[in-house]
A and B are shown apart, each in its own frame.
Chain A
Amino acid sequence: MKIKKIIITFVSAIAILLSTSVVSFAKVVGDKIVLGAAISLTGKYSSNGVHTQNGYNLAVERINSMGGVKVGGKSYKFDIIYYDDESNPKRAAQLAERLISQDGVEFMLGPYSSGLTKAIAPVTEKYGVPMVEANGASRSLFTKGYKYLFAVLAPANLYLDVAIDLAVEKNNGKPVRIAQAFEQDAFSQDVRLGILEAAKRTNSEIIIDDKLPKELNDMAATLVKVKQMKPDVLVVSGHTKGALTAVRQIAEMKVDVPMLAMTHCDAAKLSKQHGKNSQYALCASQWHKSLTYKDKFFGTGMKYAKDFEKQFKYDPPYQSAESSAALLVFKDAFERANSFDQKKVRDALAATNMQTFYGNIKFAPGGQNVDKPMVLFQVMCDDSGKCENKVVAPTKWASAKLIHPIPSWSKR
Chain B
Amino acid sequence: MDFMVFQYPMITIQACLDGILLGVLFALIAYGMALQWGVMNIINIAQGDLVILGGYIAYFMYLYGIHPAWGVIVSPIIMYFVGVGIYKLVINKVVDRDLFISILATFGISILFMQLMNFAFGADVVLANSGYGTTFLFDSNVVLPNSKIFSAVVSIVFAICLVIYMKKSKLGRAIRATAQNSRAAKILGVDTEKVYAATFGINAALCGVAGALISITFTIHPYMGLPYTIRSFMIVIVAGLGNLPGVAMSGMGLGVFEEFADYLLGTEFRIGSVFLLLVLILVYRRFKLSRKREYLK
User: A228 contacts B267, CB within 8 Å?
Assistant: no
Q: Measured between alpha carbons, how far is A219 from B119 in the docked complex, in Å?
A: 28
Residue of B nearest to A219 (CB): B267
Among B125, B221, B268, the one with the most A-chain Cβ atoms within 10 Å of its Cβ is: B125
Interface membership of A338, Cβ < 8 A? no
Give A136 Cβ to nearest chain B Cβ, in Å.
Answer: 18
User: B123 contacts A218, CB within 8 Å?
Assistant: no
- A-side interface size class: 35 or more
| Interface of chain A residues 127 through 180 with chain B (CB within 8 A) | none
User: B129 contacts A211, CB within 8 Å?
Assistant: no
User: A210 contacts B267, CB within 8 Å?
Assistant: yes
Chain A residues lying within 8 Å of B269, measured Cβ to Cβ, are 213
User: A220 contacts B18, CB within 8 Å?
Assistant: yes
Among B136, B218, B227, the one with the most A-chain Cβ atoms within 10 Å of its Cβ is: B218
User: B125 contacts A240, CB within 8 Å?
Assistant: yes
Interface membership of B240, Cβ < 8 A? no
User: A217 contacts B224, CB within 8 Å?
Assistant: yes
| Interface of chain A residues 170 through 197 with chain B (CB within 8 A) | 181, 184
Interface membership of B185, Cβ < 8 A? no
Chain A residues lying within 8 Å of B147, measured Cβ to Cβ, are 252
Question: How many inter-chain contacts with C-beta < 8 Å in the A-B complex?
Answer: 104
Q: A47-B124, A244-B127, A253-B134 are in contact. Are A42 and B115 (CB under 8 A)?
A: yes
User: A213 contacts B267, CB within 8 Å?
Assistant: yes
User: B271 contacts A215, CB within 8 Å?
Assistant: yes
Q: Measured between alpha carbons, how far is A221 from B259 in the docked complex, in Å?
A: 7
Interface membership of A273, Cβ < 8 A? yes
**Could you give, for residues 195-219 of chain A, a 1 whenever the CB lies within 8 Å of some chain B CB and a 0 otherwise?**
0000000000000001111011111
User: A274 contacts B270, CB within 8 Å?
Assistant: no
Interface membership of A397, Cβ < 8 A? no
Chain A residues lying within 8 Å of B125, measured Cβ to Cβ, are 239-241, 244, 268
| Interface of chain B residues 221 through 262 with chain A (CB within 8 A) | 221-224, 226-227, 259, 262
**Could you give, for residues 143-172 of chain B, a 1 whenever the CB lies within 8 Å of some chain A CB and a 0 otherwise?**
101010000000000000000000000000
Q: A252-B147, A253-B145 are in contact. Are A240 and B124 (CB under 8 A)?
A: yes
Chain A residues lying within 8 Å of B115, measured Cβ to Cβ, are 42
Interface membership of A13, Cβ < 8 A? no
User: B145 contacts A221, CB within 8 Å?
Assistant: no
| Interface of chain A residues 40 through 60 with chain B (CB within 8 A) | 42-48
User: A44 contacts B118, CB within 8 Å?
Assistant: yes
Q: Measured between alpha carbons, how far is A224 from B126 in the docked complex, in Å?
A: 23
Chain A residues lying within 8 Å of B263, measured Cβ to Cβ, are 221, 224
Instruction: Of the listed stretches B7-15, B69-77, B280-288, name the one at the interface; the rest are far from the partner chain.
Output: B7-15
* Cross-chain pairs A/B with CB under 8 angstroms, 21 sampled: A44-B123, A44-B223, A45-B123, A210-B268, A211-B266, A212-B268, A213-B267, A215-B271, A217-B218, A221-B15, A222-B267, A224-B11, A224-B14, A239-B125, A241-B125, A248-B127, A253-B134, A254-B143, A268-B124, A274-B129, A277-B129
Interface membership of B272, Cβ < 8 A? yes
User: B219 contacts A46, CB within 8 Å?
Assistant: no
Q: A184-B268, A213-B271, A274-B129 are in contact. Are A254 and B134 (CB under 8 A)?
A: yes
